[in-house]
C-alpha cells in the first residue's frame, strides 16, 4: 500500500518554495526553534482569524530583525480598530523573540479553496457535532464551485463515536498527488471531540503550473 508524502515537501524547489526564508551558518537551531515558537504563538492567538500560512524572513546581515507575513481570511480581526491589534501583536512578538518585528498582513481572497482553512472549517463543524460526512461534502462542493479542479478530504479517528477508529474520505475532480507540476494545496487540522481526536486532511488541486510557465515564455518570446 503506497504511503503519502507531504505535497509541499515533495514539490519544494520546483513549484513550491519554503515558508521560512533565511540562511544561517551558526545559529540555525536557534532560528529554527524561534520560527516554530512564532508560528505556534500566532496560530493559537489568531485562530479565529483563519490563518492559512505564516512566512518568516530574515536578512543575512540583520540578526535582530524578523519579517513575518501572515496570510489570513479575516484581516480585520488581525489588524483591529485603527491598527490597535497589530501593535499589541508586535509588542508580544518582540517580547518573545527579543528582536525587531515587521508584520505584513495579506488577505486570502478565496478561503473556500485554501486547504488549511477548509480543514479547519471541517474540524470546527465536527466539534459542533455536525456529521463528518455532511461537513466534508459541503466543503468539497463549495471548493469546486469556487474554481478548484479537484479536492479530496479525509477524516480519521473515532468517527461518529464508533468504538474502533477508522478512516473515511471523499473526493471530487482530479487530485494528481504524484505529478510534480500539479499545484496541490494541503491542509491538516485536528477536531477535539468527546470521544477523542479526529484528524482532518485536505488536498486541493488548483491546476498545473507547467502550462502557466509555458504561456509566460511565449509572451516574453
pLDDT tens digits for range 136-184: 999 999 999 999 999 999 999 999 999 999 999 999 999 999 999 999 9
CATH number at residue 154: 3.30.1140.32
User: 1 lies in a domain?
Assistant: no
* Residue where a domain stops, chosen among 68, 83, 107: 107
Q: Kindly tell me if the per-residue pLDDT of 218 is higher than 70.
A: no
Residues 101 and 183 in one domain: no
Residues 11 and 99 in one domain: yes
pLDDT tens digits for range 22-74: 998 888 999 999 999 999 999 999 988 899 999 999 987 777 889 999 999 99
Q: How many domains does the chain have?
A: 2
In percent, how much of the chain has pLDDT > 90? Answer: 76
Q: What is the predicted pLDDT for the residue at 215?
A: 53
User: 217 lies in a domain?
Assistant: no
User: 221 lies in a domain?
Assistant: no
Q: What is the predicted pLDDT for the residue at 61?
A: 76
Residues 122 and 164 in one domain: yes
Residues 116 and 169 in one domain: yes
pLDDT tens digits for range 97-135: 888 999 999 999 999 999 999 999 999 999 999 999 999
* Residue where a domain stops, chosen among 50, 76, 107: 107
Q: Render the chain in DSSP notation, one character per residue.
A: -PPPPPHHHHHBTTTB--SEE---SSSHHHHHHHHHHHHHHHHHHTGGG-EEEEEEE--TT-TTEEEEEEEES-HHHHH-GGGHHHHHHHHHHHHHHSSEEEEEEEE-S-GGG-HHHHHHHHHHHHHTT--HHHHHHHHHHHHHHTT-SEEEEEEEESGGG-SS-EEEEEEEE---TT-TTEEEEEEEEEEEETTEEEEEEEEEEEEEHHHHHHHHHHHH-
Residues 148 and 89 in one domain: no
Distance CA 121, CA 136 (A): 9
Residues 75 and 168 in one domain: no
Residues 56 and 127 in one domain: no
User: 100 lies in a domain?
Assistant: yes
Residues 57 and 150 in one domain: no
Residues 11 and 101 in one domain: yes
CATH number at residue 34: 3.30.300.20
* Residue where a domain stops, chosen among 66, 83, 107: 107
Distance CA 54, CA 38 (A): 9
Residues 26 and 46 in one domain: yes
Could you tell me the residue range of the domain that residue 55 belongs to? 7-107
Q: What is the pTM of this model?
A: 0.89
Residues 76 and 60 in one domain: yes
Amino acid at each position: 500500500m503506497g504511503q503519502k508524502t507531504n505535497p509541499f515537501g515533495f514539490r519544494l524547489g520546483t513549484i513550491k518554495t519554503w515558508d521560512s526564508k533565511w540562511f544561517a551558518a551558526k545559529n540555525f537551531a536557534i532560528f529554527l526553534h524561534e520560527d516554530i515558537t512564532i508560528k505556534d504563538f500566532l496560530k493559537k492567538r489568531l485562530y479565529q482569524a483563519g490563518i492559512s500560512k505564516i512566512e518568516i524572513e530574515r536578512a543575512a546581515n540583520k540578526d535582530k530583525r524578523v519579517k513575518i507575513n501572515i496570510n489570513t481570511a479575516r484581516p480585520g480581526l488581525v489588524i483591529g480598530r485603527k491598527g490597535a491589534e497589530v501593535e499589541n501583536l508586535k509588542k508580544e512578538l518582540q517580547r518573545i523573540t527579543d528582536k525587531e518585528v515587521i508584520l505584513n498582513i495579506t488577505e486570502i481572497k478565496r478561503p473556500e479553496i485554501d486547504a488549511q482553512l477548509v480543514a479547519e472549517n471541517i474540524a470546527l463543524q465536527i466539534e459542533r457535532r455536525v456529521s463528518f460526512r455532511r461537513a466534508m461534502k459541503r466543503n468539497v462542493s463549495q471548493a469546486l464551485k469556487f474554481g478548484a479542479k479537484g479536492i479530496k478530504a479525509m477524516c480519521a479517528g473515532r468517527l461518529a463515536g464508533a468504538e474502533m477508529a477508522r478512516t473515511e474520505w471523499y473526493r471530487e475532480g482530479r487530485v494528481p498527488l504524484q505529478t510534480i507540476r500539479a499545484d496541490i494545496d494541503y491542509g491538516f487540522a485536528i477536531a477535539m471531540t468527546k470521544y477523542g481526536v479526529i484528524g482532518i486532511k485536505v488536498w486541493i488541486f488548483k491546476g498545473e503550473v507547467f502550462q502557466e510557465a509555458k504561456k509566460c515564455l511565449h509572451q516574453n518570446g
